[in-house]
Amino acid sequence: MDWRAESPELWTFLGSLRCGEILSGTVTAIESFGVFVALDDGPPHPLYPGVGFITFPELSWRRFEAASDVVQVGQRVSGEFLQFDTWNAEARLSLRAMRPDPFVAFAERTTVGRELHGHVTQLVPFGVFVRVADGIEGLIRGRDLTLPADEVVQIGDGVTVVVTHVDREKRQLFLSRQTAGQL
């Protein structure tokens, strides 16, 4: 579809937006591929339930199971404008950009060898995820476990772990069940 010809007012509005600009609106639909937002400013979208669109990774810094864990239809939101999606004639937004990344602060105060206490959140074929702080999960790799994960721990178990690697760029935390003296 040629959005310029079909909806010139929408095209002009979206083209006037600048990266980093804060846009507000109301969540109109939660779909399996993202969240639509009817923006306060600008025209309505001729096909979609909103001109604003938020992909799942841009909803929150924290892991969630469903978008409805973060936003609800009818909820007012403000997000940072990321880009003009010319294919769908949408304003791509980020809610998480409106809040500091909790991993950055955690990484600044955490060193390799530090012992932490946490709770098992997920057992996966390649290891065990452990929540060690609010919004911060690390991975004990399967190769670091002496037995299959489900024979060692269960979801919800409290565990003591040691930080083995912090990758700030990829936002990854690797852990071990060994004590600091055994590393």
Short-list 91, 127, 103, 111, CA closest to 183: 111
Q: 36 forms bridges with which residues in the sheet?
A: 29, 53
CB of 159 closer than 8 Å to CB of 117: yes
Do 50 and 29 form a contact (C-beta atoms < 8 A)? yes
Lowest mean pLDDT among 4-8, 26-30, 127-131, 170-174: 4-8
Cα-based distances in Å from 163 to 5, 72, 103, 155, 156: 56, 36, 14, 20, 19
pLDDT in tens, 36-73: 999 999 899 999 999 999 999 999 998 898 999 999 99
C-alpha angle with apex 136: 180 to 130, nearest 5 degrees? 55
**Residue among 111, 110, 107, 82 nearest 96 (CA):** 82
How far apart CA 180 and CA 80 sit, in angstroms, is 42
- Return d(Cα 162, Cα 183) in angstroms, integer: 9
pLDDT (tens digit, 9 = 90+) per residue, 136-162? 999 999 888 877 777 878 999 999 999
Q: How far apart are CA 139 and CA 181, in angstroms?
A: 20
Q: Which residues are CB-neighbours of 139 under 8 A, at least 6 positions away?
A: 126, 127, 128, 129, 130, 172, 173, 174, 175
How many other β-carbons are positioned within 10 Å of the β-carbon of residue 31? 11
Confidence of residue 182 (pLDDT cuts 50, 70, 90): very low
pLDDT reading at 183 higher than 70: no
- pLDDT at position 42: 87
On whether the pTM is more than 0.75, the answer is: yes
The string of pLDDT tens digits covering residues 5-46 is 789 999 999 999 999 999 999 999 999 999 999 999 989 999
